[in-house]
Amino acid sequence: MPSLRNLLLGAGLATLLQAVGVAAAPSRSLPSPDIQRDSNCIPRFPAAPPTLPTTGDATELPSPAANMTLKFAAVGRGIQNYTCAASNSTPVALGAVATLFDGTALAGTNEAALNALPAAAVYSPVPTTSLTLHGNTLAMLGHHYFDATGAPTFDLSAFGDLLVGKKIASVNAPATADSGPAKTGAVAWLQLQDAGGSKGVSEVYRVVTAGGNPTACTAAGVITVQYAAEYWFYA
């Protein structure tokens, strides 16, 4: 019999997408018109490239390698999923489903404005086209989900890129991070790298998280928790 995990990550993916208002769009989204890119789709920022956010704590995620170049900075909005074996058991992470919105241009002109978006987005419904908050409109970049094998996957359909990742490093979100609608706290910041089968991007950082930590188990089943975060993709 298939496991609950595979049912949710495989055949159940469409249900989870619907749960957060994410449609598996058959057509490609329009990329942000506000950033120029070279022939390799690397953005041409008007000034120095934006800097990956840090927690400000004693332990930080490893910095991107010197040969890595920022390709996309995105805001993700969706749900974190957990399973409960029984009431009062410890929730076990099952994966996440999110829609990704292209904030690359905003990162290049006003990084502080980009960093303010996850804490606002986590309280807003998941858009099906573009994300508009604080006077900024971000076009849809793609979707994040976990495939049937449990691999974190980022389908950047607006540009035809794909990252199938594996976790390399993790640090706690800063104490000042928004705890989300459930008031359970912000999920950890992560570094993930290509696990094989990726195209166009080879590394992603999940930073500036808001919400997403599990509630307590009250019965056997699945917990879904609203979250938002920034995802910085490198090539």
Lowest mean pLDDT of 23-27, 49-53, 152-156, name the range: 23-27
State phi, psi for 14 to the nearest 5 degrees.
Answer: -60, -40
Q: Please count the structural domains in the chain.
A: 1
Please indicate, yes or no, if residue 28 is contained in any of the structural domains.
no
Please indicate, yes or no, if residue 53 is contained in any of the structural domains.
no
Please indicate, yes or no, if residue 38 is contained in any of the structural domains.
no
Please compute the mean of the pLDDT values over residues 48-52 and round it to a whole number.
Answer: 94
pLDDT tens-place string over residues 203-217: 999 999 999 999 999
Please indicate, yes or no, if residue 51 is contained in any of the structural domains.
no
Is 90 exceeded by the pLDDT of residue 171? yes
Q: Which two tokens stand for residue 45?
A: 């920022």
- Residue 28: which pLDDT band, with cuts at 50, 70 and 90? very low
Angstrom distance (rounded) from CA 66 to CA 75: 24
Please indicate, yes or no, if residue 46 is contained in any of the structural domains.
no
Please indicate, yes or no, if residue 207 is contained in any of the structural domains.
yes
Q: Which two tokens stand for residue 130?
A: 């573009």
Question: How does the average pLDDT of the chain come out, rounded?
Answer: 89
Angstrom distance (rounded) from CA 88 to CA 85: 9
The contacts of residue 169 (CB under 8 Å, 6+ apart) are 61, 62, 190, 191
- Residue 89: which pLDDT band, with cuts at 50, 70 and 90? very high
Q: Which two tokens stand for residue 13?
A: 């993916």
Please indicate, yes or no, if residue 62 is contained in any of the structural domains.
no
pTM score over 0.75: yes
Please indicate, yes or no, if residue 77 is contained in any of the structural domains.
yes
Range of the domain at 84: 4-22+69-234
Q: Given this model, what pLDDT does residue 189 score?
A: 99
Q: How far is CA 39 from the centre of its chain?
A: 26
The contacts of residue 47 (CB under 8 Å, 6+ apart) are 108
